[in-house]
Structure 1
Amino acid sequence: MKQLKINNETKLSHLERRFYKIRNNKIFELFVISIIVFSALMIGANSYDVSPTTLQVLSILDIMITVIFLVEIVIRFIGEPNKRTFFCNAWNVFDTFIVLVSLIPIEDSELAVLGRLVRIFRVLRMVSIIPELRILINSLIKALPQLGYVMLLMFIIFYIYAAVGTTFFATINPTLWGDISISLLTLFRVMTFEDWTDVMYETMQVYSLSWIYYLTFIFFTAFAFLNMVIGIVVNVLEQERQLEADLLNEHNENADMEELKKELAEIKALLQKR
């Protein structure tokens, strides 16, 4: 019984090492990315009026893609050196959820819309597959608390300028400056440089110095605050890249230790056979 247990562990360790090499293989990664891209193209094809035969072919291809994704998740799980931490990664949970929901046959039920939405979100799996995209998303999420304060300050500036604009320019053009909510939309148009000179020249016919109002607003919003946002995101991105590099080094060290332990266990098993 003990010998059978050792043999099973040896076979499992061989399987884990093989799947670990597969999941870290660039060819395997490119294959999965190509399947995700093909899945996205199929979603676009389903939006056109196609023949019933084409729909049937697309349905078969969708089943094949779902099976491939299921096999890929299994390979990633078995090839994980520390399986207890596999589902501690939010991206692994997301991938597994998308794949499991895709397995549910809901195309002909009331949940058909949900099924189509799940297949659309399968395109997001490219983010979890490509490390660079994953770092970008993680950086953006971690930067949100700091960005919140910048956005709050930007809203205060928006609100002050909108109140001033409503006070002075409402009689000139009520469509653009009639109340503070409309003024906020007009200022957003100015900040994005969408025909903002037309708005400025219209008010300058009554208030010749109103150009100061627009230029100072653009300086605060389009230049100062947006550069602050970019700076925060870039700073967090650099920190996230450094953290990813440290985690990768630690992961490789742990994987090497696990492989060394398994090799020692195999040697021990062979000695016990003799």
Structure 2
Amino acid sequence: MIEILSPTELARAKDTGALVAGILQTLRNRSGVGTNLLDIDRWAQAMIVEAGAQSCYVDYEPSFGRGPFGHYICTSVNDAVLHGLPHDYALADGDLLTLDLAVSLGGVVTDSAISFVVGEAKDAADTAMIAATERALSAGIAAAGPGVRLGDVSHAIGSVLDAAGYPINTQFGGHGVGSTMHQDPHVPNAGRPGRGFKLRPGLLLALEPWVMADTDELVTDADGWTLRSVTGCRTAHSEHTIAITEDGTEILTLPRA
């Protein structure tokens, strides 16, 4: 299903996006050496509940997971890149942490992810990889707009990642959002320009370039959820929810001033 939001729903989506951005910013500021992933999950839960919002993860039970997920945020560390299940682990100096959060407020969902190094970065390759996903995200957003083909967005993302030398996995990527977290269209992180669905005003897209340093192959943890690089290499992931508007795009998951 591809869902097109009304102006009233879009206004609610802006509130949801601001909430997601604010929670992620707070969690980033609170996450340091020694922070336990379960504490991050509890902090996320408290902020979601306080806002009168609902987690998109607690009851999430897709075909590819061993559900329900049962937590409020995805916490992926080092070689984990997607769907990191929070567990009893204290962050160490130099860990590369990805936080991925999707929340519903007022019946509308937004989704965002950030990657950052905890404490002191030990390897410049980590910060370069994070920066590459952020550049790819910016390129995808810049390419999007009313009448644009979805392949143009995927191509813009993939061109940045490819130029930076990262293999690209297209099994998991961006997606539509709206009244639910995962909707059509799928937005792979590589594509052919001029192909695919034509973007329309009112469409919300979660764009999420993610990479692994030296492979495009994933392996699933014994927890049934956490996806890691098959080689054990480091990973990074950046994501924003955007709205297609009459004259361009609007990033919904930026913190409010």
Greater RCO, CA 8 A, separation 6+: 2
Structure with more helix by fraction: 1
**When the two structures are superposed, what TM-score results if normalisation uses the length of structure 2?**
0.28
Give 1 or 2 for the bigger CA radius of gyration: 1
Q: State the TM-score, normalizing by the size of structure 1.
A: 0.26
